[in-house]
Structure 1
Amino acid sequence: MSKPDTGRGRISLTFAGLLFAAGILFVWGIDFAIRSTNTLEFCTSCHTMQTNFEEYQASLHFKNPSGVKATCADCHVPKPLGPKLLTKLIAAKDVYHEIVGTIDTPEKFEARRWHLANMVWDRMRANDSRECRSCHDFDDMDLSEQGRSARSRHAAARDKGQTCIDCHRGVVHHEPDDPGDTAAVNADAS
């Protein structure tokens, strides 16, 4: 004798289908959010980022002989998914500080710039300048094509286990003055 159809099988399949569809929508939503927040337009939409945007436009990462442009996300957002999601969560605090007024004016941003820059530099040291190395890896450099000074410094940096940010702070954005550096403070006062 066969068992009567109670409809449970159909409900389970319907629930599984809905769960599957919800999962796809969730993944699509996360992907959309990441892609949207990785654009140059999004990164520079806060008016306090205009100074950073102007510095970037004056750099070789914006305009150079090869025509290759690195955008904010290329330098500040990791490619692997786990670190990318963590970076996006941490970056949400910048949006929060813009909204609550901690960095909502160029003056307030400049007052916190040393602190903000150090957070980026510390992260870059911790991950061996991972985002820089997507384009500038020691193993891909032809040191013989570099100038004498760059060639010797890059060779020494590789031998010492240094990372890009150890020497290349202020490449795209102006390096902020250390608030504890009295020489820089006195120079600004003159």
Structure 2
Amino acid sequence: MADRPDNRGMIRRFWDWFWGPTAVLSVGFTLIAGFLAGIFFWGGFHWSVELTNTEEFCVSCHTMETNLGEYRETIHYNNHSGVRAICSDCHVPHEWSHKIKAKIMAVKDVYHEMVGTINTPEKYEEHRLQMASAVWRKMKASDSRECRNCHNFDYMDFTLQEVRAASEHQRAIDSDMTCIDCHQGIAHRLPPSYLEEYEKVLEALSMTPSSRRLAAADHEATQFYLRSRSE
């Protein structure tokens, strides 16, 4: 009890020293040092974030082996142009605020890796539809934001595309559809009953006021396309 006044006095002296004018270093030196420290901190933070965007980091978890095998069989991994889209290109936004939000949300993936939610092929298949649905919902709500980092209707030359692809892309433009409406299985194997699940995604988003503009406007066109795929 007797040492409390001394402790308070020590804290008070430290506080005064911390905020008081420096007696040894000039104000200019202090400002420059703080500025340089900020640069190093920001550089280190940015480097850490970008490190988590690498393919090596994404597939370093045991549970990602199934994803990796499927991805390596797709056109995003191996194609005539040699241009590849890695995990972060499709799952991490480029815009800073959306990127940081995605990184924070990814903490749940670390948790599920630790508890072994999908650490066997059987568990992975059991959760495949649930995981796919979560990604579809996110991409539908964002108007396929990550797809549009590389693909843009404005710069597509339909004369160089196959007839069916050109026709579908033109219909997507006319009907205000978005990429994920047709390309659910572009990088990973589709789960059973995926069409029915995507129908549920559309219905859920059309009932959400913030997403109604994106989901409801093209709902009828998307439903027609999904029905044509199931026939």
Match of 2:111 among 90, 93, 96: 96
In 2, distance between residues paired with 1:7 and 1:177?
68
In 1, distance between residues paired with 2:195 and 2:154?
37
Runs of 5+ in structure 1 lacking a partner?
1-5, 182-190
Instruction: Give 4+ residue runs of structure 1 displaced > 3 Å after superposition.
Output: 6-22, 178-181
In 1, distance between residues paired with 2:176 and 2:147?
15
1:64 aligned partner, one-letter code: N
Match of residue 184 from structure 1: none
Q: 1:106 to 1:28 in 2, by over 3 A?
A: farther
1:126 aligned partner, one-letter code: A
Match of 2:166 among 126, 148, 151: 151
Match of residue 44 from structure 1: 59
Q: Deviations over 1:133-161 (max 9, x none)?
A: 12221111111222222111111111111
Match of 1:136 among 151, 158, 161: 151
Runs of 5+ in structure 2 lacking a partner?
1-20, 197-231
Number of residue-to-residue matches in the alignment: 176
Match of 1:86 among 101, 106, 117: 101
In 2, distance between residues paired with 1:165 and 1:110?
21
Q: CA deviation at 1:38?
A: 0.9
Q: Deviations over 1:78-135 (max 9, x none)?
A: 1111111111111121111101222233322222221111111111112211221122
Q: 1:22 to 1:93 in 2, by over 3 A?
A: farther
2:193 maps to 1:178:
yes
**RMSD between aligned residues:** 2.3
1:122 aligned partner, one-letter code: R
* SS of alignment partner, residue 130 of structure 1: coil
Match of residue 26 from structure 1: 41
* SS of alignment partner, residue 66 of structure 1: coil
TM-score when normalising by structure 2: 0.69
Identity %: 48
Q: CA deviation at 1:9?
A: 8.9
Match of residue 107 from structure 1: 122
TM-score when normalising by structure 1: 0.82
Match of residue 118 from structure 1: 133
Q: CA deviation at 1:52?
A: 0.8
2:86 maps to 1:71:
yes
Match of residue 54 from structure 1: 69
Structure number with bigger Rg: 2
Q: CA deviation at 1:180?
A: 10
Counterpart contact for 1:47–1:105, Cα < 8 Å: no
Greater relative CO, 1 or 2 (CA 8 Å, sep 6+): 1
